[in-house]
Copies of this chain bind each other. A is one copy, B any other.
């Protein structure tokens, strides 16, 4: 179909070296006959002119039996842009680490061409495939077709959000844990938690294979699971020599930048004081042929990362320094179970104590680590903090004080005149 809106402002965005979403949308409208794309361009041009968005607030729509996975959206100017009057998104749970067979991709395209706008996000910030621009009546049939093709919706609302992970063992030599398998396992175990929101607020898992954290979990997952090791960095001294021979300044770029200064390089041999290594990855990152993570691998579990609303952004904080996640299939199942037991204790506590729209990290802030650690049955360890408290406001408990808290004014005053 021909484009029906003038878009002089958007047309500017067809220029330049970076791929142009405007070109792509125009193509969908033109070649792809998407009237939704056509009206989206029109409404977006209006936004560009007026410097303000044109979507109504919220809108509760969905598919039967699910409490999430769909974000309702309606145009506030449907008289001008009728094809985007409904413009809901469906969040489709991506395969872990986002490998796609072209067959699967084409199936998704077919379904979306049939029911929707032809417009997607590959991918949403949480990790979902996002189908952008669906009418209410198309949601259910679209969902049915997705399910038949083996796809399901992801999370939205006060539910488990779609877990995601880095490429991991599929194409990265540093993956200390099987990110995809764990991501899949968590997703499958918690289907109910994902589809039927029942919590105070959202909860996100993100899984990175090593401390480089290529899925940015530490910034944005209520639970970050980050691969690490607890034995020694593997060193290939021959390759060290090759780096040196190639003119690479090991002293400056490796030894000098190690945050704990636990590397020495003498007489062409590189030595690491592993007990003082904090597994930051730097030396491995810059000499990938010579250094590798250890072989006793598992994950560090951190909790609480989130965006600023309400009380300011948080990063994930260490709660379990090392959880072994590596071994035979059976061992791994047990290890996953251990992790899930921990998570379920956490959820129970949060469910019980969390206020409306309070993330796990905020709850820990509000009630303190002691309450949290008791709830999840963990012992306090120094690895949980950058430094111990500096304020003297310690909430001692009655049971740790000899004689308890009951005291008598009379007894006190018998020794001390007022």
CB-contacts of A369-408 with B (<8 A)? 390-393
Q: Would B78 and A393 count as touching, CB distance under 8 A?
A: no
- CB neighbours (8 Å) of A52 from chain B are 415-416
Interface residues on A, range: 10 to 19
CA distance A391 to B313 in the complex (A): 7
Closest Cβ neighbor of A392 among chain B residues: B308
**A417 CA to B416 CA, complexed, in Å:** 73
Is residue A193 within 8 Å, beta carbon to beta carbon, of the partner chain?
no
* Minimum Cβ distance to chain B for residue A76 (Å): 4
Contact of A56 among B50, B312, B393, B418 (CB under 8 A): B418
Kindly list chain B residues whose C-beta atoms are within 8 Å of the C-beta of A392.
Answer: 308
In the complex, are the beta carbons of A393 and B308 less than 8 A apart?
yes
A410 to chain B, nearest CB (A): 15
A390 proximity list for chain B (CB < 8 A): 313
Tell me the minimal C-beta distance from A15 to chain B in angstroms.
29
Is the CB–CB distance between A417 and B77 below 8 Å? yes
Bitwise, A45-79 to B at CB < 8 A (1) or not (0) is 00000101010100000000000000000001110
Q: How many Å lie between the Cα of A18 and that of B76 in the bound state? A: 82
Contact partners of A77 in chain B: CB under 8 A: 415-417
Docked pose: A313 CA to B390 CA in angstroms? 9
Whether A54 contacts B416 by the Cβ 8 Å rule is yes
Q: Are A76 and B417 in contact (CB under 8 A)?
A: yes
Residues of B within 8 Å of A50, CB to CB, are: 415
> Of B56, B312, B417, B418, which is within 8 A of A417 by CB?
B56
Closest B residue to A416 by CB, please name it: B76
Specify which chain B residues have a CB less than 8 angstroms from the CB of A56 in the assembled complex. Answer: 416-418
Q: A111 to B374: give the CA distance in the assembly, Å.
A: 61
A416-B77, A417-B76, A417-B78 known; A391+B308 contact, CB < 8 A: yes
CA distance A78 to B416 in the complex (A): 10
Give every chain B residue within 8 A of A54 (Cβ-Cβ): 416
In the bound complex, what is the Cα–Cα distance between A56 and B415 (angstroms)? 11
Verify B416–A312 contact, CB threshold 8 A.
no
Cα–Cα distance between A313 and B52 once the two chains are bound (Å): 45
Q: What separation, in Å, do the CA atoms of A312 and B417 have in the docked complex?
A: 32
Q: Shortest Cβ distance from A279 into chain B, in angstroms?
A: 25
A78 to B418, CA, bound (A): 11
Cβ–Cβ < 8 Å partners of A393 in chain B: 308, 312
CA distance A52 to B416 in the complex (A): 10
A416 to B55, CA, bound (A): 8
Residue of chain B at shortest CB distance from A307: B392
18 A-B residue contacts at CB 8 Å? A50-B415, A52-B415, A52-B416, A54-B416, A56-B416, A56-B417, A56-B418, A76-B415, A76-B417, A76-B418, A77-B415, A77-B416, A78-B417, A308-B392, A312-B391, A312-B393, A313-B390, A313-B391
- The 5 A-B residue pairs whose C-beta atoms are closest, nearest first, are A76-B416, A76-B417, A312-B391, A308-B392, A308-B391
